Structure formats: structure tokens, C-alpha cells
Copies of this chain bind each other. A is one copy, B any other.
Amino acid sequence: MTLKELADRLGLSPTTVSRALNGYPEVNAETRARIEIAARDYGYRANTMARKLATGRSMAIGHVIPLSNHQMINPIFAEFMAGASEIYSSEGYETLLAAVPAANEVQTYRELARRRSVDGLIVHAPRLNDPRVDLLRELELPFVVHGRSVDIEDRPVFLDTNNRRSFEQATTYLIELGHTRFALLNGMETISFARRRRRGFEQALQNNGLRSDASRMVDMEMTETNAYDVTMKWLNEPKPPTAILTSSTISALGVARAIRDAGLQIGDDVSLITHDDDLSFMRNVGDPPPFTALQSPIRDAGAKCARMLIDHIAGKKVSSEIWKCEFIEGRSTGPAPKETPA
């Protein structure tokens, strides 16, 4: 069923039918009703390609995800996509996913622009001075950043969580429990959120007259193994940390394993707080949650970014937003242990 066929059956011109179906105002209410009913009855759907060609809009939003051979797709990313994609669908947009080898990332953006395959993009996990921002501006593709590009002067539209504040809050919480020896197990500080987390951590220590120890702040790829190794090393040092903050639940698992393997009790001997995007584990991994955590609802974030982008594309003014994490007390924190004279 094409527009023309539908128009013929109604004894109208394709123009009028098109206008009615697209909600243009200049159509007689009665005619419009007739058209809408007929369209429904015949199960008419506009052919997307034809519409795209005619309007020049692709009605698709792109997500480019750089692929590494050694690393899994972040499950967080999948949740974000789910939230976003649901909004796209409901707004008539399609979701275009481009998983490409990391080396082809720039090229992929260029292709998408040249072929006009998408009307806009979401930029994930912005790095410091992220080149994608300039690239997309050059290509004149609307985009929204999930995360913050603090270092870029003319800041693009973004949605981020308040990482600095969250880590400051969590650290303060531990300080109030009496802890004085801290460690921070952070994600790679090339990703901008990691830096902000460290700032919050250090700020809290400083506010309470504690010194941050550079050897007890590590940034690294967040795998369970890495976390395990670093924690083990720390726990074997003299005056080991009694409170550890970590940047993801996967690394928290490694920390937890190390604590147990060292013959210590989580919560009693060593307290542990993790940041968690909503999260893969927290939700499925036990109730009450095994970890005290800073949670941020990632699916909601996906949906929000989607809405921001759609508005952005429509030319509306969109302002960036900063969401705060929820602080959840779990089983992994407790008062600082009494000092045992070694």
C-alpha cells in the first residue's frame, strides 16, 4: 500500500493524504479523520526510505562503539542503549549501531556524515580533549555527550553524573566511620569521569585534615584481576588501607576477593564502596546489596540523552544536566577497626 494507492481509494490527492497523516494544520478536520481511518484500515505505513529521501532526514540516531579485541562491551553501554533506543522508537527514530574496530572510529563518523545515515549521535565515554567533539562539529552533525568534556572551552551539550561530589560524599562517610587509611582504585584517568572522582576523593580527605597518598591512588583498566592484584599488594604493605573506594563493581569484586584471600573480613577489617552504574550487579547480585555503592541509573540516562538529542536536532534549546548518584548502604562498610599493635 503506497501513498498514491491510498489517495486513489479515497479520491484525494497524495498531497492531501500526506499532509493529513503528517499532522499539517491546513487539512479539513473531516477529511483528516477520513484519511486516518482509511490509513489504519489498510494498514498503511509510509515507506521510510522514500520519506527519508524526500525530507533529507534519516530519522535515525547513531551510536558508534569502538571495538577492542580484548575487552568486552561494557554491560553499562547495553543498558544505556536500551534506555535510549526505547525513546527513539517512540519518537519515530531508528537506532543505528556501528560497532567498529577502534582504529576505524573517525572514518566511521565521516562515512555516517557523508552518506547522511543519521540525524545525530551520542558520544560515549568522552576522553580528555576528545577529538570526536571537534570532528562532529566539523561534520555539522548534532550530538549529545554522555559524560563531560570539561577541558573543551565551548562545551557541547552533555549529561553527566556528579562524580566529584559522589566520591567526596562516599569518602566523607568513611571518614565519619573513623577510617584514616584510604585507597582509591580508579578507572583510567584518560576518561574524564575518573579524574573527577579522584578530585572528590582527595577533597574529602583534605577537608578532614587527611593526606592523600599517591601510592594508594591507582588508575587502571577496571578488570577484576587488576583490582585483585593492586589490593593484594596494598594489604601486604605495612599500615594497609582500611577503606577502599573503587570505580566499578567489577573491580569491587576483585577487591573483595583479595580481602577474603588475605584472611580479612569485608566491612569489619576493610570497608569498601563502589561506584555502580545502576547496575549490572547490584540489581541481580543480592539483596541487601553486597556493596555499599554510589548508583546512577544508566537506563534513565540513556533515555534522557535520547530526549536531549531529539530536541537538539529539532532546534530546541537544550541545556546540559548533571545528575547525582544515589548512595546505598550495603554490607561492605563498617567502623574503622581498632588498631592492633603489630
A residues with a Cβ closer than 8 A to B are 43, 45-50, 52-53, 58, 65, 67, 72-75, 77-79, 81-82, 84-86, 89, 94-101, 108, 111, 114-117, 223-225, 228, 250, 253-254, 257, 280-281, 283-287
Contacts and interface: CB of A to CB of B under 8 A. Distances in A.
A322 to B, nearest CB: 24
A116 B51 CA distance: 12
Contact of A97 (B52, B85, B223, B225): B85
B72 A73 contact: no
Q: Assembly of this chain: how many copies? A: 2
Contacts of A79: 72-73
Contacts of A58: 48-49
Given A45-B115, A224-B284, A284-B72, A81 B99 contact: yes
Given A81-B97, A100-B89, A114 B49 contact: no
A72 B283 contact: yes
A81 B53 CA distance: 28
A258 to B, nearest CB: 11
Contacts of A98: 85, 89, 94-95
A20 to B, nearest CB: 18
Contact of A280 (B75, B81, B86, B108): B75
Contacts of A114: 43, 45
Contacts of A117: 48, 94
